[in-house]
Amino acid sequence: MFDDRRTTRTFLSAPPSVTSLVAAVLEPAVAVGLYLAVVAAFDEPILRADVVLCLFVVALTFPGRNRFGDRPLNAAVDISVSWLGVAAILGLVGYATSSLQFFDARVLLWWGLATPAVHWIAVYAGRNALRRLAQQPGERRSVAIIGAGALSVRMRRALDARGVDFVGYFDDRADERVHADARAQRLGPLARAAAYVHDHGVEEVYITLPLGSQPRIVGLLEQLQGTTTSVFFVPDVFGISIIQGRLQDLQGVPVVGLCETPFTGINRLVKRGSDLVLASLVLLLTAPLLLALAVGVRLSSPGPVIFRQRRNGLAGEPIEIYKFRSMRVGAEPDDAQASRDDPRVTPFGAFMRRRSLDELPQFVNVLQGRMSVVGPRPHAVAHNEQYRSLIKAYWVRHKVRPGITGWAQVNGLRGETDTLEKMQRRIEYDLEYLRNWSLMLDLQIVARTIKLVFWDRHAY
């Protein structure tokens, strides 16, 4: 039945935990349950509009996020922000459909205030219950680690945070060659590991040996499969600059992704959809300002209103981006960065650059699909060629569309990058953005950018 390896999956997704299932149901259950309780408290009947509202709430909150492992303050902030988003959506829908009249204002007010508070209390109680449960002798799993290096010690600390009974390390090296924090708990060489695991009923074994030790790993795995212990392999990836690392199973062949774009699958649709919505809103709301700036550019100096720049876009492909012209005609070479008090900049151009108003036409580039609202800022083509050989993983930033604003810019790295160190720091932030992308991160960057437009002094 399973002889055809094309139909056999080598790696399976871990099943969701019981706490994840509880968390998925908890958020909608608290919101709906509290709404019905408040309605009953005010002696109001449950009408069709109430049922529709409850269905909307379930659709918006299920599945709930697992916050049982979060710190209480972090959980409180996350719950409040999430609930404010849900309330805003419900309010907009109610206003657009003129259905707010069907609800008692007192019910909505008490419900809106009580839901995040009760949700946090439930999460806090669940967090404490899980901690007490983890301290029970029958719930703590015994664990051994194969290897006694830096990765092994790091794994030990991670396991301690989970709550386990750690028995020790196995390593063939002498004490003076293993990690200092592992010496006191080294149980012996690898040859003794399987027998020790069997005799002491060790429930989990984590192998932290380097990939160069594959023959030893294979032999050890064969010995451990003569026991009932669960075996896990921990690859040493901490010395590698991993972007969106993930494990895939391609027709039974395990594939480890080391450098991938965050915008695959549904993330690609979310990113493009948010770009279209944000860019359309900005262009609509700033239309009078765009017209005024265009007139200002035309009157301040002779030449075209729009300046076109050649940049590298997605996958390094050449693109053309737009800006309001802020320099005198003939004084804007693509590879020369503007500096403070740059004589090429016109007085009106200096005003626009201080508030980044010259970049507003790039929202048109977003609608064209050349740029994103948020992403690594595009550098001059000549600078890309210069720095790609000087800075590690420099070109990885081109795995996504360049952005009008980015994680580096809201962390103090706007303006001129006149040293290699400044460019290196900017690239570090760009790569951090790729590793940690989420829609909430994009919205946070947009919000911080709006603040910088009015208070930042690094743009010129």
- What is the pLDDT averaged over residues 305-311? 91
> Mean pLDDT across the chain, nearest whole number?
86
Sorted by where each begins, the domain ranges of the chain are: 18-134, 140-254, 266-455
Task: Check pLDDT > 50 for residue 192.
Answer: yes
Task: Check pLDDT > 70 for residue 332.
Answer: no
pLDDT, tens digit (0-9, with 9 covering 90-100), for 123-141: 999 988 888 877 776 678 8
Least confident span in 60-64, 266-270, 426-430:
60-64
- What is the pLDDT averaged over residues 71-99? 88
What's the pLDDT score for residue 334? Answer: 53
- What is the pLDDT averaged over residues 274-285? 93
The gap between the terminal CA atoms of the chain, to the nearest Å, is 68
Which letter, b or e, does each residue of 15-50 get, where b requires 16 or more Cβ atoms within 10 Å of its Cβ? Answer: eeeebeebbbebbbbbbbebbeebbeeeeeeeeeeb
Q: What tokens were used for 335?
A: 């590879």
What's the pLDDT score for residue 1? Answer: 43
What's the pLDDT score for residue 347? Answer: 87
pLDDT band at 214 (very low <50, low <70, confident <90, very high): confident
pLDDT band at 145 (very low <50, low <70, confident <90, very high): very high
- What is the pLDDT averaged over residues 419-439? 91
Q: What tokens were used for 130?
A: 């899980």
pLDDT band at 331 (very low <50, low <70, confident <90, very high): low
Task: Check pLDDT > 70 for residue 457.
Answer: no
- What is the pLDDT averaged over residues 29-49? 92
Tell me what percent of the residues of the chain surpass a pLDDT of 70.
Answer: 92
pLDDT band at 5 (very low <50, low <70, confident <90, very high): very low
Name all contacts of 442-447 with Cβ < 8 Å and 24+ positions apart. 442/271, 442/274, 442/373, 442/374, 445/374, 445/405, 445/406, 445/407, 445/410, 446/278, 446/373, 446/374, 446/405
pLDDT, tens digit (0-9, with 9 covering 90-100), for 361-391: 999 999 999 999 999 999 988 888 889 889 9
Distances (CA, A) of 112 to 47, 50, 372: 19, 14, 35
- What is the pLDDT averaged over residues 282-306? 92
CB 356 within 8 A of CB 450: no
CA distance 35 to 58: 12
Highest mean pLDDT among 15-19, 36-40, 71-75, 416-420: 36-40
What's the pLDDT score for residue 118? Answer: 95
Higher-pLDDT residue of 7 and 80 is 80
SS (H, E, C) the chain: CCCCHHHCCCCCCCCCCHHHHHHHHHHHHHHHHHHHHHHHHCCCCCCHHHHHHHHHHHHHHCCCCCCCCCCHHHHHHHHHHHHHHHHHHHHHHHHHCCCHHHCCHHHHHHHHHHHHHHHHHHHHHHHHHHHHHHCCHHHCCEEEEECCCHHHHHHHHHHHHHCCEEEEEECCCCHHHCCHHHHHHEEECHHHHHHHHHHHCCCEEEECCCHHHHHHHHHHHHHHCCCCCEEEECCCCCCCCCECCEEEEECCEEEEECECCCCCCHHHHHHHHHHHHHHHHHHHHCHHHHHHHHHHHHHHCCCCCEEEEEEECHHHCEEEEEEECCECCCCCCCCCCCCCCCCCECHHHHHHHHCCHHHCCHHHHHHHCCCEEECCCCCEHHHHHHHCCCCCCHHHHHHCCCEEECCCHHHCCCCCCCCHHHHHHHHHHHHHHHHHCCHHHHHHHHHHHHHHHHHCCCCC
- What is the pLDDT averaged over residues 212-236? 87
pLDDT band at 275 (very low <50, low <70, confident <90, very high): very high
CA distance 56 to 53: 5
CA distance 381 to 217: 47
Task: Check pLDDT > 50 for residue 218.
Answer: yes
pLDDT, tens digit (0-9, with 9 covering 90-100), for 398-426: 999 999 999 999 998 877 777 889 899 99
Task: Check pLDDT > 70 for residue 456.
Answer: no
What's the pLDDT score for residue 428? Answer: 93
- What is the pLDDT averaged over residues 419-446? 91
CATH 3.40.50.720 for domain 140-254, yes or no, is: yes
Task: Check pLDDT > 70 for residue 437.
Answer: yes
Tell me what percent of the residues of the chain surpass a pLDDT of 90.
Answer: 45
Task: Check pLDDT > 60 for residue 4.
Answer: no
- What is the pLDDT averaged over residues 314-321? 92
Task: Check pLDDT > 80 for residue 8.
Answer: no
Beta bridge partners of 57: none
- What is the pLDDT averaged over residues 315-324? 93
